[in-house]
Amino acid sequence: MFARRRPLLRAAAIGGGAYIAGKRRAERSAAGAPQSVSDQLTQLDSLHAQGALTDAEFAAAKSRLLAS
């Protein structure tokens, strides 16, 4: 009976450790450096070109970005 429990415990420990490591890595990458204004303007322009933003929405977002 003990022979069967060890692989299960080992798998649970490895899986738990991998989960925690992945979670920490995701938190670190999400808290990365903020985008520059030019990167954000480029992103807004691509959204506008794709049709995701109307002319009015693009102008409002652009003015908000440049005002900050």
Residue 2 clears pLDDT 60, i.e. is over it: no
Residue 68 clears pLDDT 70, i.e. is over it: yes
Number of domains in the chain: 2
Q: Could you list the residue range(s) of the whole structural domain that residue 13 is in?
A: 1-32
Residue 45 clears pLDDT 60, i.e. is over it: yes
47, 19: one domain: no
1, 25: one domain: yes
User: What whole-number distance in Å separates Cα of residue 35 and Cα of residue 18?
Assistant: 29
2, 28: one domain: yes
Model confidence pLDDT, tens digit, residues 6-42:
777 777 778 777 888 888 888 887 766 677 899 899 9
Query: Residue 33: how many CB atoms within 10 A of its CB?
Result: 5
28, 39: one domain: no
pLDDT top residue among 58 and 25: 58
Residue 49 clears pLDDT 60, i.e. is over it: yes
pTM: 0.51
